[in-house]
A and B are shown apart, each in its own frame.
Chain A
């Protein structure tokens, strides 16, 4: 089984911990992972903003980078949905069967590897935000929740209005900042009301928007990618978690 990690541009540049967590997790489950360095971005920002020709260029690059792998696994429901749902409609040559080989992380774990208990330990109260593309385009269903429920020490609490969009929406976040911020504020209020210590998701783009909103408010809740929870094992380490990957390394809050 040749498995490639499609880390995504956002994770590569801003959230490398998520990529490392996927590698740790998959290797722990006996999967040999490769990282084709020719990968960059799937082209979703270009496609969703109306720049189709440029999205096609990046789609061809992505297909090329992942040629020859049986499975391409990504810790982003949004990017998986771009490849699987939108690439076929682009209709450009050279994309091969990539859409059939791309799996969002939780799909790969549950459907391909057939595991829900990945041997993780994470003694925290966690609530889960199902990002729209994973929820509606990929139909991830309860896979992420099944994986979270099997984590030792983790208490999963319900997120009110979970299925509502967080307001990120790619370039929407900067093209319509007022509405984006209003949606983010409501999502954050719901997450805080859940009583969780950790707001977990399977898309760092949404978590970037929500984490930035939380930090601006100095709210007592941090955002963590699902992969990082599933990669955690040591109770001692988890009880004294690493500095939040999404927190400001410069120290004091603004």
Chain B
């Protein structure tokens, strides 16, 4: 993934910093609350939402089960339509393919459609290293790029910024990337949008090469689909001479008919719209219309490994709608950056450790970045049981034993105690017996301090329940 995420601290440390940022929390809280209320209303309009959700899940599962077949069919259809298909095993290979394709055109700049896959592989940075400048054209991505920042949300990358911050970013930075912002720029949405529009228009009209991702790929026709709100995507997809699309292999759907399910699930789940404003579809190349050269880079980058995991593979159903981010109370407080990954929030917490592995500290911390409250599972339009995968990945992290030695010892000791009721009874009785000695906050590092920094420890009662029962109701069944 993107080099900009290397060296990120683990989630708890990063979140401890971001939760202290009052402006960030206010921005996130306001934005996620607005989106999730609107989304709930949009979803409630459809009486067959549960059936649609089930269809989405089944189509994705079927496709993943026969992924090899559908990818080969897709390659054949794209090639027959005049496109060229490239296969990339990892980020490095994908970046090399794209850089070589751009260099072959003789160009030194590309315009980009917002794409999670190209962020995942750090394409912009890889192109920059080859002397090629990549211009993001999605409004939010533009804000993030101008600010030399990182996206904080899958759908709304600049969710952590408010209007005043955006005005300042435009005024300070636009000139270094192209057309400057107007002198009298205010923070009104119309002014900001017009400034971005003028800035971007120059790039659309000049660019000879565009790079995109895709929301879906249709195996039987070789068609790619981009769903967006602003129209910048359509400009990039139609104006340049060469179009290069980098797409994760899990984005394929078997047939054109399958698309109707996802074109209902995606916009309602993501932007709370009945239909997104722009749906662009392209199939290879067409003489006299659109790009003359079309390249499709099919990206693995950990996806086949994810597919091999029986529990974890359901993460590949994800259609990147962000519904799970918008309902997640942890995401709302910590913000996207704390996840140290281009995929933040609940889906990031299960997707990233599968794509990257759990060896690094940040990746090992992600499966624990959840209270398992289940709101994400309820919201997911393709019914990914995110809590189930989180627990599954926690098992993987616990097994590898990195950085959790004290926890392992504590849980082993607790389990032994809990599996021996006589010892357990004695231990709880001892705790109750010494209750007057227990402080309400603890100075030493460890779980008790982590608890009592902000919360009082619970006071011990005078008697455990089991001792009360024994005294008042008799023995019950004998302890074994």
Contacts and interface: CB of A to CB of B under 8 A. Distances in A.
Interface of A: 7, 9, 11-17, 19-20, 23, 34-41, 43, 45-52, 54, 57-58, 61, 64-65, 132-133, 136-137, 163-165, 167-186, 208-209, 211-213, 215-216, 245-250, 254
B477 A172 contact: no
Given A50-B396, A181-B453, A212-B457, A167 B465 contact: no
B438 to A, nearest CB: 9
Interface stretch (B99-107, B163-171, B230-238, B367-375): B367-375
B466 A176 contact: no
Interface in B420-470: 421, 424-425, 428, 431-432, 435-436, 440-441, 447, 450-466, 468-470
Contacts of A250: 436, 459
A213 B454 contact: yes
Contact of A178 (B15, B415, B460, B470): B15
28 contacts: A12-B464, A13-B432, A13-B460, A13-B464, A19-B465, A19-B468, A19-B469, A38-B480, A45-B414, A48-B391, A137-B374, A167-B371, A168-B371, A171-B368, A174-B451, A176-B369, A178-B20, A179-B19, A182-B19, A183-B329, A183-B330, A183-B371, A209-B455, A212-B452, A212-B457, A216-B455, A250-B436, A254-B456
A167 B375 CA distance: 13
Given A54-B415, A174-B450, A176-B12, A181 B455 contact: yes
Contacts of A212: 451-452, 455-458
B476 interface: yes
Nearest to A163: B375
Contacts of A136: 373-375, 377-378
Interface centre among A17, A173, A178, A215 (most CB of B within 10 A): A178
A13 B430 CA distance: 11
Nearest to A177: B450
B47 interface: no
B398 interface: yes
Given A174-B451, A176-B368, A181-B454, A37 B477 contact: yes
Given A40-B424, A170-B371, A172-B371, 18 more contacts: A9-B418, A15-B461, A23-B473, A36-B477, A37-B421, A37-B475, A39-B421, A50-B394, A52-B395, A164-B375, A165-B329, A175-B450, A176-B369, A184-B454, A185-B454, A212-B458, A215-B455, A216-B454
Given A54-B415, A246-B459, A38 B479 contact: yes
Nearest to B399: A50
Contact of B478 (A37, A182, A215): A37
Interface in B211-228: none
A142 to B, nearest CB: 17
Contacts of A49: 394, 398, 407, 411
Nearest to B29: A186
Contacts, number: 223
A35 B479 CA distance: 11
Contact of A177 (B330, B412, B414, B453): B453
Interface in B180-236: none
A72 to B, nearest CB: 13
A39 B464 CA distance: 14
Contact of B428 (A12, A38, A45, A170): A12
Given A169-B373, A170-B372, A47 B391 contact: yes
Contacts of B464: 12-13, 16
B57 interface: no
A34 B477 contact: yes
Contacts of B394: 48-50
Nearest to A209: B455
Interface string B383-403: 000000001011111110000
B11 interface: yes
